[in-house]
Amino acid sequence: MSKPTIIQTIMSILAAFVGVQSDKNRKLDFEQGSLTTYVVGGLIFTVLFVATLIFVVSRVLGD
């Protein structure tokens, strides 16, 4: 079994972030992937998501 590629890792993180990760893919992530990679990726996407929300809300409110 080979390690997931960067694209596969990003897609897996995004799917888990949205809540549509399949059980098969989740098992593959735990068996083949690195916990550190998924945690760091999840934190990065969370920060980007919150920053995007703050930006959109500030633009809508005109502040």
pLDDT, tens digit, 9 for 90 and up, residues 5-17? 889 899 999 998 8
What is the residue range of 36's domain? 6-61
SS3 63: coil
The Cα–Cα gap between 19 and 54 comes to 22
Number of domains the chain contains: 1
The Cα–Cα gap between 31 and 25 comes to 10
In a domain, 1, yes or no: no
Q: Is the pTM of this model over 0.75?
A: yes
DSSP class per residue in 31-55 = HHS-HHHHHHHHHHHHHHHHHHHHH
Confidence of residue 4 (pLDDT cuts 50, 70, 90): confident
Identify the pLDDT of residue 1. 63
In a domain, 27, yes or no: yes
In a domain, 12, yes or no: yes
At 16-58, the pLDDT tens digits run 888 888 888 888 888 888 889 999 999 999 999 999 999 999 9
In a domain, 53, yes or no: yes
In a domain, 13, yes or no: yes
Identify the pLDDT of residue 43. 96
